[in-house]
Amino acid sequence: MRVLNIGTYPPKQCGIATFSMDIRNSLTVNGITVDVMAISDENYQYAYGPEVVFNLRQQHKSDYIKAAAFINGSPSIDLVLLQHEYGIYGGQDGEYLLELIKLLHKPFVLITHTVLPRPSRKQKEVLYELCSRAAGIVCMTRHSARLLTDLYEAPEEILSIICHGVPAFKKQDSNFLKQKYNLQDKIVISTFGLLGPGKGLELGIEALALLKDKFPDIRYLILGQTHPMLRKLEGEKYRQMLIELVHQRQVEEQVLFVNHFLTDEELGEYLYMSDIYLSPYPNKDQAVSGTMAFAIGCGRAIVSTSYAYATEMLSENRGLLAKEADPAELAHLIEQLILDQELKARLQKNASQLGQSWQWPNIGREYKEFFQQVIAINPIESEGKNTYAKL
Protein backbone atom coordinates (compact mmCIF):
# COMPACT_ATOMS: atom_id res chain seq x y z
CA MET A 1 0.00 0.00 0.00
CA ARG A 2 1.23 3.48 -0.87
CA VAL A 3 -0.33 6.54 0.77
CA LEU A 4 0.10 10.26 0.09
CA ASN A 5 -0.29 12.48 3.17
CA ILE A 6 -1.45 16.07 2.57
CA GLY A 7 -0.78 18.55 5.37
CA THR A 8 1.86 20.79 6.87
CA TYR A 9 5.13 19.01 7.56
CA PRO A 10 8.45 19.56 9.38
CA PRO A 11 10.60 21.58 9.46
CA LYS A 12 7.47 23.77 9.70
CA GLN A 13 6.62 23.96 13.39
CA CYS A 14 2.95 23.44 14.11
CA GLY A 15 0.76 20.71 15.58
CA ILE A 16 -0.45 19.38 12.22
CA ALA A 17 3.11 19.19 10.90
CA THR A 18 4.19 17.12 13.91
CA PHE A 19 1.11 14.91 13.52
CA SER A 20 1.88 14.39 9.80
CA MET A 21 5.42 13.28 10.61
CA ASP A 22 4.32 11.01 13.46
CA ILE A 23 1.59 9.31 11.46
CA ARG A 24 3.99 8.79 8.56
CA ASN A 25 6.51 7.12 10.86
CA SER A 26 3.84 4.97 12.50
CA LEU A 27 2.49 3.79 9.15
CA THR A 28 6.00 3.08 7.88
CA VAL A 29 6.72 0.69 10.77
CA ASN A 30 3.43 -1.01 9.90
CA GLY A 31 4.56 -1.67 6.32
CA ILE A 32 2.91 1.23 4.48
CA THR A 33 4.90 3.56 2.22
CA VAL A 34 3.96 7.20 2.81
CA ASP A 35 4.85 10.11 0.55
CA VAL A 36 4.09 13.69 1.57
CA MET A 37 2.45 16.65 -0.12
CA ALA A 38 3.52 19.55 2.10
CA ILE A 39 1.43 22.71 2.56
CA SER A 40 3.80 25.69 2.68
CA ASP A 41 2.96 29.25 3.70
CA GLU A 42 4.32 32.41 2.09
CA ASN A 43 6.57 33.51 4.94
CA TYR A 44 9.17 30.74 5.08
CA GLN A 45 11.25 28.55 2.79
CA TYR A 46 11.31 25.00 4.14
CA ALA A 47 14.08 22.49 3.48
CA TYR A 48 11.95 19.35 3.22
CA GLY A 49 13.21 15.76 3.25
CA PRO A 50 13.04 13.45 0.23
CA GLU A 51 9.67 12.05 1.34
CA VAL A 52 8.07 15.37 0.28
CA VAL A 53 7.15 14.82 -3.37
CA PHE A 54 5.07 17.98 -3.91
CA ASN A 55 5.25 21.43 -2.34
CA LEU A 56 1.77 23.01 -2.35
CA ARG A 57 1.86 26.76 -1.73
CA GLN A 58 -0.95 27.60 0.66
CA GLN A 59 -2.33 30.75 -1.00
CA HIS A 60 -1.78 29.76 -4.65
CA LYS A 61 -5.12 28.48 -5.91
CA SER A 62 -3.54 27.08 -9.07
CA ASP A 63 -1.31 24.81 -6.95
CA TYR A 64 -4.39 22.92 -5.73
CA ILE A 65 -5.37 22.12 -9.31
CA LYS A 66 -1.80 21.07 -10.12
CA ALA A 67 -1.75 18.92 -6.98
CA ALA A 68 -4.86 17.03 -8.10
CA ALA A 69 -3.29 16.40 -11.51
CA PHE A 70 -0.08 15.18 -9.83
CA ILE A 71 -2.02 12.71 -7.65
CA ASN A 72 -4.24 11.48 -10.48
CA GLY A 73 -1.15 10.97 -12.65
CA SER A 74 0.66 8.89 -9.99
CA PRO A 75 -0.43 5.26 -10.46
CA SER A 76 1.52 4.10 -7.40
CA ILE A 77 -0.66 6.13 -5.00
CA ASP A 78 -3.43 3.92 -3.62
CA LEU A 79 -4.92 6.35 -1.12
CA VAL A 80 -4.72 10.01 -0.10
CA LEU A 81 -4.60 10.97 3.58
CA LEU A 82 -5.90 14.50 4.09
CA GLN A 83 -5.14 16.36 7.33
CA HIS A 84 -7.87 18.94 7.84
CA GLU A 85 -7.50 22.12 9.86
CA TYR A 86 -9.15 25.25 8.43
CA GLY A 87 -6.13 27.51 8.85
CA ILE A 88 -3.51 25.51 6.94
CA TYR A 89 -5.18 25.78 3.51
CA GLY A 90 -5.72 28.84 1.35
CA GLY A 91 -8.83 30.90 0.74
CA GLN A 92 -11.64 31.68 3.17
CA ASP A 93 -11.63 28.96 5.85
CA GLY A 94 -9.37 26.83 3.65
CA GLU A 95 -11.81 26.67 0.75
CA TYR A 96 -9.02 26.26 -1.85
CA LEU A 97 -8.75 22.66 -0.72
CA LEU A 98 -12.10 22.00 -2.38
CA GLU A 99 -10.47 22.78 -5.77
CA LEU A 100 -8.19 19.79 -5.19
CA ILE A 101 -10.72 17.24 -3.97
CA LYS A 102 -13.29 18.06 -6.67
CA LEU A 103 -10.72 17.00 -9.28
CA LEU A 104 -9.35 14.02 -7.35
CA HIS A 105 -9.82 10.55 -8.88
CA LYS A 106 -8.24 8.69 -5.95
CA PRO A 107 -10.08 7.83 -2.73
CA PHE A 108 -9.13 9.98 0.22
CA VAL A 109 -9.37 9.59 4.00
CA LEU A 110 -10.17 12.81 5.85
CA ILE A 111 -8.59 13.32 9.30
CA THR A 112 -10.53 16.00 11.17
CA HIS A 113 -8.48 17.99 13.67
CA THR A 114 -11.11 20.68 14.29
CA VAL A 115 -14.84 19.90 14.40
CA LEU A 116 -16.71 23.03 15.42
CA PRO A 117 -20.16 22.81 17.08
CA ARG A 118 -21.03 26.34 15.94
CA PRO A 119 -19.26 26.85 12.60
CA SER A 120 -19.65 29.86 10.36
CA ARG A 121 -21.56 29.29 7.15
CA LYS A 122 -18.32 28.92 5.16
CA GLN A 123 -16.70 26.62 7.73
CA LYS A 124 -19.72 24.32 7.64
CA GLU A 125 -19.79 24.40 3.84
CA VAL A 126 -16.10 23.41 3.55
CA LEU A 127 -16.22 20.53 6.02
CA TYR A 128 -19.58 19.31 4.69
CA GLU A 129 -18.14 19.14 1.17
CA LEU A 130 -15.03 17.29 2.37
CA CYS A 131 -17.12 14.77 4.31
CA SER A 132 -19.47 14.20 1.37
CA ARG A 133 -16.59 13.31 -0.95
CA ALA A 134 -14.38 11.33 1.44
CA ALA A 135 -13.96 7.57 1.17
CA GLY A 136 -13.26 7.45 4.91
CA ILE A 137 -13.33 9.93 7.79
CA VAL A 138 -11.30 9.82 11.01
CA CYS A 139 -12.03 11.83 14.14
CA MET A 140 -10.43 11.50 17.56
CA THR A 141 -13.34 11.63 20.01
CA ARG A 142 -16.93 10.40 20.31
CA HIS A 143 -18.01 14.03 20.67
CA SER A 144 -16.48 14.90 17.28
CA ALA A 145 -18.09 11.83 15.72
CA ARG A 146 -21.54 12.99 16.85
CA LEU A 147 -20.95 16.46 15.46
CA LEU A 148 -19.75 15.10 12.13
CA THR A 149 -22.83 12.93 11.64
CA ASP A 150 -25.44 15.28 13.12
CA LEU A 151 -24.20 18.70 11.95
CA TYR A 152 -21.99 18.00 8.92
CA GLU A 153 -24.02 15.00 7.67
CA ALA A 154 -20.98 12.72 7.43
CA PRO A 155 -21.97 9.17 6.47
CA GLU A 156 -21.74 7.14 9.67
CA GLU A 157 -20.66 3.98 7.83
CA ILE A 158 -17.36 5.56 6.67
CA LEU A 159 -16.53 7.18 10.02
CA SER A 160 -13.90 5.81 12.40
CA ILE A 161 -12.75 7.09 15.82
CA ILE A 162 -8.97 6.75 16.19
CA CYS A 163 -7.35 8.49 19.14
CA HIS A 164 -4.49 10.99 18.84
CA GLY A 165 -1.18 9.13 18.88
CA VAL A 166 1.66 9.80 21.30
CA PRO A 167 5.38 9.00 21.18
CA ALA A 168 6.56 5.89 23.01
CA PHE A 169 8.13 7.98 25.76
CA LYS A 170 10.75 6.26 27.91
CA LYS A 171 9.51 6.21 31.50
CA GLN A 172 11.86 8.14 33.78
CA ASP A 173 12.26 8.84 37.50
CA SER A 174 10.83 12.20 38.55
CA ASN A 175 13.34 12.83 41.37
CA PHE A 176 16.30 12.12 39.09
CA LEU A 177 14.94 14.55 36.48
CA LYS A 178 14.28 17.25 39.08
CA GLN A 179 17.92 17.04 40.14
CA LYS A 180 19.02 17.25 36.50
CA TYR A 181 17.02 20.46 35.99
CA ASN A 182 17.85 21.95 39.44
CA LEU A 183 14.27 21.57 40.63
CA GLN A 184 14.86 19.10 43.45
CA ASP A 185 12.31 19.32 46.27
CA LYS A 186 10.04 21.45 44.09
CA ILE A 187 6.38 20.85 43.18
CA VAL A 188 6.54 20.97 39.38
CA ILE A 189 3.54 21.94 37.26
CA SER A 190 3.90 22.22 33.49
CA THR A 191 2.09 23.27 30.35
CA PHE A 192 3.66 22.83 26.90
CA GLY A 193 2.97 23.74 23.31
CA LEU A 194 3.44 26.59 20.85
CA LEU A 195 2.50 29.79 22.66
CA GLY A 196 -0.32 32.02 21.50
CA PRO A 197 -3.64 33.57 22.57
CA GLY A 198 -6.23 30.92 23.32
CA LYS A 199 -3.84 28.66 25.24
CA GLY A 200 -5.00 30.06 28.59
CA LEU A 201 -1.51 30.42 30.02
CA GLU A 202 -2.54 33.61 31.81
CA LEU A 203 -5.05 31.47 33.74
CA GLY A 204 -2.20 29.19 34.82
CA ILE A 205 -0.12 32.16 35.99
CA GLU A 206 -3.07 33.59 37.93
CA ALA A 207 -3.66 30.18 39.57
CA LEU A 208 0.00 29.99 40.61
CA ALA A 209 -0.26 33.44 42.18
CA LEU A 210 -3.07 32.13 44.38
CA LEU A 211 -0.95 29.15 45.50
CA LYS A 212 2.50 30.65 46.01
CA ASP A 213 2.08 31.68 49.66
CA LYS A 214 0.74 28.30 50.75
CA PHE A 215 3.23 26.35 48.59
CA PRO A 216 6.41 28.45 48.18
CA ASP A 217 8.23 25.53 46.51
CA ILE A 218 5.75 25.36 43.63
CA ARG A 219 7.14 25.93 40.12
CA TYR A 220 5.12 26.41 36.92
CA LEU A 221 7.01 25.57 33.70
CA ILE A 222 5.67 27.16 30.52
CA LEU A 223 7.33 25.02 27.87
CA GLY A 224 7.67 25.98 24.22
CA GLN A 225 8.30 28.84 21.85
CA THR A 226 5.79 31.30 20.42
CA HIS A 227 3.98 29.94 17.36
CA PRO A 228 6.17 30.90 14.36
CA MET A 229 3.21 32.34 12.40
CA LEU A 230 2.18 34.48 15.36
CA ARG A 231 5.76 35.63 15.89
CA LYS A 232 5.95 36.63 12.23
CA LEU A 233 2.78 38.74 12.55
CA GLU A 234 3.26 40.42 15.92
CA GLY A 235 6.59 39.31 17.38
CA GLU A 236 6.60 38.26 21.04
CA LYS A 237 3.60 40.38 22.06
CA TYR A 238 1.77 37.48 23.73
CA ARG A 239 4.83 36.20 25.59
CA GLN A 240 5.62 39.72 26.79
CA MET A 241 2.05 40.00 28.10
CA LEU A 242 2.62 36.79 30.07
CA ILE A 243 5.97 38.03 31.42
CA GLU A 244 4.35 41.31 32.50
CA LEU A 245 1.60 39.35 34.25
CA VAL A 246 4.27 37.31 36.07
CA HIS A 247 5.81 40.57 37.33
CA GLN A 248 2.45 42.04 38.32
CA ARG A 249 1.55 38.93 40.35
CA GLN A 250 5.08 38.74 41.79
CA VAL A 251 5.61 35.11 40.77
CA GLU A 252 8.97 35.56 39.02
CA GLU A 253 10.44 32.80 41.17
CA GLN A 254 7.50 30.43 40.63
CA VAL A 255 6.96 30.76 36.85
CA LEU A 256 9.73 29.57 34.52
CA PHE A 257 9.71 29.95 30.73
CA VAL A 258 11.51 27.40 28.53
CA ASN A 259 11.51 29.30 25.24
CA HIS A 260 12.37 26.84 22.47
CA PHE A 261 10.76 24.10 20.39
CA LEU A 262 11.05 20.89 22.40
CA THR A 263 12.26 17.58 20.99
CA ASP A 264 10.31 14.47 22.01
CA GLU A 265 13.23 13.51 24.26
CA GLU A 266 13.13 16.85 26.10
CA LEU A 267 9.37 16.76 26.27
CA GLY A 268 9.39 13.30 27.82
CA GLU A 269 11.80 14.50 30.50
CA TYR A 270 9.76 17.58 31.36
CA LEU A 271 6.52 15.60 31.48
CA TYR A 272 7.91 12.81 33.66
CA MET A 273 9.40 15.45 35.96
CA SER A 274 5.99 17.14 36.34
CA ASP A 275 3.89 16.39 39.40
CA ILE A 276 0.87 17.96 37.69
CA TYR A 277 0.15 18.76 34.05
CA LEU A 278 -2.04 21.85 33.61
CA SER A 279 -4.19 22.29 30.50
CA PRO A 280 -5.94 25.67 30.87
CA TYR A 281 -7.55 26.13 27.42
CA PRO A 282 -10.43 28.62 27.78
CA ASN A 283 -12.26 27.54 24.60
CA LYS A 284 -14.79 24.85 25.54
CA ASP A 285 -15.12 23.78 21.89
CA GLN A 286 -11.48 22.60 21.63
CA ALA A 287 -12.00 19.24 19.90
CA VAL A 288 -8.47 17.81 20.12
CA SER A 289 -5.36 18.58 22.15
CA GLY A 290 -2.15 16.86 21.13
CA THR A 291 -0.45 18.31 24.22
CA MET A 292 -2.98 16.71 26.57
CA ALA A 293 -2.66 13.43 24.64
CA PHE A 294 1.10 13.53 25.30
CA ALA A 295 0.51 14.15 29.01
CA ILE A 296 -1.89 11.21 29.17
CA GLY A 297 0.69 9.14 27.28
CA CYS A 298 3.18 9.86 30.08
CA GLY A 299 0.62 9.03 32.76
CA ARG A 300 0.56 12.48 34.34
CA ALA A 301 -1.89 13.74 36.95
CA ILE A 302 -3.81 16.35 34.96
CA VAL A 303 -5.79 19.45 35.94
CA SER A 304 -7.73 20.98 33.07
CA THR A 305 -10.47 23.34 32.07
CA SER A 306 -13.54 21.48 30.80
CA TYR A 307 -13.08 21.84 27.05
CA ALA A 308 -14.55 19.13 24.80
CA TYR A 309 -11.44 16.95 24.42
CA ALA A 310 -10.53 17.14 28.11
CA THR A 311 -14.06 16.34 29.25
CA GLU A 312 -14.07 13.11 27.25
CA MET A 313 -10.49 11.99 27.79
CA LEU A 314 -10.30 12.74 31.52
CA SER A 315 -13.50 10.89 32.37
CA GLU A 316 -13.30 7.72 34.49
CA ASN A 317 -10.95 9.33 37.03
CA ARG A 318 -8.16 10.20 34.62
CA GLY A 319 -7.93 13.86 35.66
CA LEU A 320 -9.58 16.78 37.45
CA LEU A 321 -11.77 19.23 35.54
CA ALA A 322 -12.59 22.83 36.39
CA LYS A 323 -16.16 23.67 35.42
CA GLU A 324 -15.11 27.11 34.24
CA ALA A 325 -11.89 28.68 32.95
CA ASP A 326 -11.34 30.22 36.38
CA PRO A 327 -7.93 30.61 38.09
CA ALA A 328 -9.40 30.10 41.57
CA GLU A 329 -10.98 26.79 40.56
CA LEU A 330 -7.79 25.63 38.86
CA ALA A 331 -5.81 26.58 41.97
CA HIS A 332 -8.22 24.60 44.16
CA LEU A 333 -7.80 21.46 42.02
CA ILE A 334 -4.01 21.82 41.96
CA GLU A 335 -4.04 22.12 45.74
CA GLN A 336 -6.16 18.97 45.98
CA LEU A 337 -3.50 17.00 44.11
CA ILE A 338 -0.63 18.47 46.11
CA LEU A 339 -2.28 17.49 49.40
CA ASP A 340 -3.71 14.11 48.34
CA GLN A 341 -0.91 11.89 47.04
CA GLU A 342 -3.22 8.87 46.81
CA LEU A 343 -5.51 10.79 44.44
CA LYS A 344 -2.51 11.90 42.41
CA ALA A 345 -1.24 8.30 42.12
CA ARG A 346 -4.70 7.07 41.10
CA LEU A 347 -5.01 9.65 38.34
CA GLN A 348 -1.51 8.83 37.08
CA LYS A 349 -2.30 5.11 36.95
CA ASN A 350 -5.58 5.60 35.10
CA ALA A 351 -4.06 8.04 32.60
CA SER A 352 -1.10 5.73 31.98
CA GLN A 353 -3.33 2.75 31.24
CA LEU A 354 -5.10 4.71 28.52
CA GLY A 355 -1.96 6.42 27.25
CA GLN A 356 -0.09 3.15 26.66
CA SER A 357 -2.64 2.15 24.02
CA TRP A 358 -2.10 5.48 22.22
CA GLN A 359 1.56 4.95 21.36
CA TRP A 360 2.09 5.68 17.68
CA PRO A 361 2.90 2.14 16.50
CA ASN A 362 -0.48 1.00 17.91
CA ILE A 363 -2.31 3.95 16.38
CA GLY A 364 -0.56 3.29 13.06
CA ARG A 365 -1.91 -0.25 13.14
CA GLU A 366 -5.45 1.10 13.60
CA TYR A 367 -5.00 3.44 10.63
CA LYS A 368 -3.63 0.61 8.49
CA GLU A 369 -6.69 -1.55 9.22
CA PHE A 370 -9.00 1.34 8.38
CA PHE A 371 -7.12 2.08 5.14
CA GLN A 372 -7.48 -1.57 4.11
CA GLN A 373 -11.24 -1.26 4.57
CA VAL A 374 -11.30 1.91 2.46
CA ILE A 375 -9.18 0.40 -0.33
CA ALA A 376 -11.58 -2.54 -0.45
CA ILE A 377 -14.12 -0.06 -1.83
CA ASN A 378 -14.09 0.80 -5.51
CA PRO A 379 -14.35 4.48 -6.57
CA ILE A 380 -17.02 5.09 -9.23
CA GLU A 381 -17.31 8.46 -10.96
CA SER A 382 -20.93 9.61 -10.89
CA GLU A 383 -22.04 13.09 -11.99
CA GLY A 384 -18.73 14.64 -10.97
CA LYS A 385 -18.83 13.22 -7.44
CA ASN A 386 -17.21 10.12 -6.01
CA THR A 387 -19.55 7.38 -4.81
CA TYR A 388 -18.35 4.02 -3.60
CA ALA A 389 -19.45 0.43 -4.04
CA LYS A 390 -18.13 -2.75 -2.44
CA LEU A 391 -15.85 -4.82 -4.64
305 and 343 inside one domain: yes
301 inside domain: yes
195 and 316 inside one domain: yes
329 and 371 inside one domain: no
82 and 60 inside one domain: yes
352 and 364 inside one domain: no
Is the bond leading into 155 cis (omega within 30 degrees of zero)? no
Domain that holds residue 270: 174-356
Length of the chain, in residues:
391
388 inside domain: no
Number of domains forming the structure of the chain: 2
257 and 318 inside one domain: yes
390 inside domain: no
Residue 272: CATH number of its domain: 3.40.50.2000
147 and 197 inside one domain: no
- Give the phi and the psi of residue 128 in degrees, each rounded to 5: -60, -45
- The structure's pTM equals 0.88
156 and 243 inside one domain: no
387 inside domain: no
pLDDT in tens, the chain (391 residues): 999 999 999 999 889 999 999 999 999 999 999 999 999 988 778 999 999 999 999 999 999 999 999 999 999 999 999 999 999 999 999 999 999 999 999 999 999 999 999 999 999 999 999 999 999 999 999 999 999 999 999 999 999 999 999 998 989 999 999 999 999 999 999 999 999 998 999 999 999 999 999 999 999 999 999 988 888 889 999 999 999 999 999 999 999 999 988 988 999 999 999 999 999 999 999 989 999 999 999 999 999 999 999 999 999 999 999 999 999 999 999 999 999 999 999 999 999 999 999 999 999 999 999 999 999 885 534 334 343 333 2
132 and 274 inside one domain: no
23 and 160 inside one domain: yes
d(CA 115, CA 144): 6
74 and 39 inside one domain: yes
Q: First CA to last CA across the chain, in angstroms?
A: 17
57 and 190 inside one domain: no
